[in-house]
Amino acid sequence: MNEIEKKGKNNYRRYEAGVTKFESWTDKILSADHSHQCPTYVHRTPPCQGSCPSGHDIRGWLNIARGIDKPPVEGMAWQEYAFLSMAEANPFPATMGRVCPAPCEDGCNRNEVDDFVGINAVEQYVGDWAIEQKLALPGAAAETGKSVAIIGGGPAGMAAAYLLRRKGHAVTVFESQEKLGGMMRYGIPGYRTPRDMIDAEIQRILDIGVEARLGVRVGRDISIKELEKEFDAIFWAIGAQTGRPLPVPGGDAENCITGVDFLEAFNQGRLKFAAKKIVVVGGGDTSVDVASVARRLGHIEHSHDKDRPESVVLGHTAHDVAGSIRREGVSAVLTSLFPIEGMTAAEREREDAMREGVDLRGGVMPIEVIKDDRGRAIAIRMCECNMEGNAPVAIDGTEFEIECDLIVSAIGQMGNLAGIEEMDNGKGFIGTDEFFRVEDHKNHFAGGDIIRPHLLTTAIGQARIAVQGINNHLSGASLSNRPKVDVHHFSLINELNQRQLAPAEFNHTPTRGTASSAFAIHNYEDRSATQIIPHDELFLGHFPYEERNRRQEIHISEAEVLGHFDERIEGLSEEQVTAEAARCMSCGMCFECDNCVIFCPQDAVFRVDKDKSALGRYVDTDYTKCIGCQICADVCPTGYIKMGLGE
């Protein structure tokens, strides 16, 4: 961003020069010397959290990292306090801090000032610190005597297992693979999700009493009826493990495989090398991973038929000698229906792929797979296309061919419901209602990709909501309506409770006002379940331009990529993390800037005594002094102060 752009983003004023009249009659009353409006402290959800599919209290743990919200226990490190806050919604901070595409950062109000807050970077740092310090998750509540079966040990299944165990239910995870982790382990290469990190974050969940039965496939090794007899509820989190083949003539060639199968074979350690010329059809993160892995694996000029990539993917074991033979580079072409800048893959991943030598071609569609006499694909015929919504429209006269030895289809996924066909909603997935309860199946719930393939963090968020439904179901409570803003909300009552500042018990004696009463939280309103605070309700002029603290990325050149499987992202230091967290504008929550105290002309706004202060309770108002001038609301950077009726 150049200096002109910096100034252009940094000259925000709440009122323009020369404006002397109020637009609304409710504000016009403030032109008098006093009004019956007084400041009310209104908590609302920040857009980062509103954009987070797992419902993280992002603002909350950023306020911990910057030192505003101090640990409630003497001697507790801020990193531990932040980790525990993160784990309330998501037990995989180290993993998500690396691979989540961060819709929270897209929604960050700081984008209106300079650049978003590096939320992923802070999350990664805290997650890594927790692993290094061998932090444990909070233990289970009192045993309920209820038991739940989790089918699938991926992000949705393990998140549900953790949250259900926290509530005191006995939990058993059934996983068909030999290790837990699902798509975190078998769908993403290890240089993006280090395996020791996944192992550590999963082990923490097992350590609180979650049982795992590995290598067990429901529908083959155990039936649904047997599960229903043994468990009080079942949560389906089997993911979408079946890739979609190319829907074009010739797409059934033996060397046309799916991206899901390719990455699973690689992540299981079976796939030792790729083909010399590979075409990946897709445009999403999976297609980028396939092309990038192929470039790293390289190819072997002379190999046995059983060692070919498609043979290994289909079940053959590559010869051990493949690991010692000299490898050569792979020509990888990645095609997308959308233009390159419109691909669904993360921008950073696209740029890395191009830097590593992957040939990205956007705005093209496959027409036909060309086979040789043996039925093997030797080329793919394509043409340029325009997109009408999500439907490609071919452009006549633009046909061309790309020679290849292997074609990988990464155009989508669906569930594998073999043996459990009764769960199929007719579309290859499991259908659920708004509470993630399976349609027409009592005691069954579901979440994650088996409902609709999306982000890992989406699967975790669905598990969080489903767990509340399962818990209500097991306790006999009704499944109440979900809040409009369905996230893990900050609770001022909980904040006060953990600091032994809870309001006194109400004696039910009639009283007027609560300003001097100990039984109520005075002049506070919580709208977080219904409102997300937009940038135009903040005082953006308070925030100076500050460069984002960026993680260092190890960029691999085209010449270096062969055999390079080291992690590409280096985490921030503690100092950098604290500085980055301080860039958070704490939208919808006080961050103790003192503006309201400094600018109040009547000294009506005052700091709460330190021994009674907590996050969200830093300032208060003496209504006997307040004249309703609204200056405090005007200068509040976070939009936490709104004018309400007083006296």
Quick one: 617 and 494 in the same domain? yes
Quick one: 190 and 82 in the same domain? no
351 or 315: which leads in pLDDT: 351
104 or 34: which leads in pLDDT: 104
149 three-state secondary structure: strand
pLDDT for the residue numbered 19: 66
Residues, the chain, total? 647
Asked if pLDDT for residue 517 goes beyond 90, the answer is: no
Choose the final residue of a domain: 379, 412, 445.
412
Asked if pLDDT for residue 376 goes beyond 60, the answer is: yes
Question: Does 483 map to a domain?
Answer: no
Asked if pLDDT for residue 30 goes beyond 60, the answer is: no
Quick one: 249 and 213 in the same domain? no
In total, how many domains does the chain have? 3
Question: Does 11 map to a domain?
Answer: yes
Quick one: 268 and 184 in the same domain? no
Residue 73: how many CB atoms within 10 A of its CB?
9
85 three-state secondary structure: helix
507 or 97: which leads in pLDDT: 97
- Mean pLDDT in residue range 518-541: 90
Q: Are 578 and 50 in contact (CB under 8 A)?
A: no
pLDDT for the residue numbered 272: 87
pLDDT for the residue numbered 52: 96
- Mean pLDDT in residue range 386-411: 95
Question: What CA–CA distance (Å, rounded) separates 522 from 493?
Answer: 12
Question: What CA–CA distance (Å, rounded) separates 120 from 108?
Answer: 12
- Mean pLDDT in residue range 337-364: 94
| 142-151, 295-304, 614-623: the lowest-pLDDT one | 295-304
- Mean pLDDT in residue range 242-262: 95
Question: Does 138 map to a domain?
Answer: no
584 or 627: which leads in pLDDT: 584
- Mean pLDDT in residue range 361-374: 96
Token pair of 452 as six digits: 């609709």
Q: Which backbone phi and psi does 494 adopt, to 5 degrees?
A: -65, -40
Residue 579 host element (H or E)? helix 574-581
Choose the final residue of a domain: 373, 392, 412.
412
Task: List C-alpha distances in Å: 209 to 203, 217, 251, 304.
Answer: 10, 22, 46, 47
pLDDT digits (tens, 9 = 90+) for 89-133: 999 999 999 999 999 999 999 999 999 999 999 999 999 999 999
Question: Does 140 map to a domain?
Answer: no
Question: Does 336 map to a domain?
Answer: yes
Strands, E, within 186-288: which ranges? 211-214, 233-236, 242-243, 256-258, 277-282
Question: Does 139 map to a domain?
Answer: no
What percent of the chain has a predicted confidence (pLDDT) above 90? 78
pLDDT digits (tens, 9 = 90+) for 567-585: 999 999 999 999 999 999 9
Quick one: 272 and 322 in the same domain? yes
Which residue carries 């959800």 as its tokens? Answer: 45
Q: Which amino acid is at 432?
A: T
Quick one: 155 and 206 in the same domain? yes
Quick one: 87 and 229 in the same domain? no
pLDDT for the residue numbered 462: 97
Question: Does 142 map to a domain?
Answer: no
638 or 612: which leads in pLDDT: 638
Question: Does 481 map to a domain?
Answer: no
What percent of the chain has a predicted confidence (pLDDT) above 70? 91
pLDDT for the residue numbered 24: 67
pLDDT band at 384 (very low <50, low <70, confident <90, very high): very high
Question: What CA–CA distance (Å, rounded) separates 165 from 211?
Answer: 10
Question: What CA–CA distance (Å, rounded) separates 111 from 438?
Answer: 39
Asked if pLDDT for residue 303 goes beyond 90, the answer is: no
Q: Are 281 and 408 in contact (CB under 8 A)?
A: yes
Domain that holds residue 197: 147-241+415-475
Quick one: 208 and 285 in the same domain? no
pLDDT for the residue numbered 527: 96
Quick one: 29 and 15 in the same domain? yes
pLDDT band at 520 (very low <50, low <70, confident <90, very high): confident
- Mean pLDDT in residue range 547-561: 93
- Mean pLDDT in residue range 493-517: 80
- Mean pLDDT in residue range 7-27: 62
Mean pLDDT of the chain: 91
Question: What CA–CA distance (Å, rounded) separates 271 from 265?
Answer: 5
pLDDT for the residue numbered 635: 94
Could you give the angle at the alpha carbon of 490 between the alpha carbons of 496 and 514, nearest 5°? 50
Q: Which amino acid is at 616?
A: G
pLDDT for the residue numbered 322: 45
| 132-141, 232-241, 515-524: the lowest-pLDDT one | 515-524
CA-nearest of 166, 179, 174, 66 to 125 is: 66
Q: In sequence order, which residues have a C-beta less than 8 Å from that of residue 286 and are 6 or more positions away? A: 187, 259, 260, 263, 410, 413
pLDDT digits (tens, 9 = 90+) for 47-63: 999 999 999 999 999 99
Quick one: 408 and 419 in the same domain? no
Quick one: 519 and 382 in the same domain? no
Q: What is the pTM for the complete model shown?
A: 0.90
Quick one: 255 and 340 in the same domain? yes
Choose the final residue of a domain: 412, 433, 462.
412
What's the CATH number where 200 sits? 3.50.50.60
- Mean pLDDT in residue range 198-203: 98
pLDDT for the residue numbered 4: 43
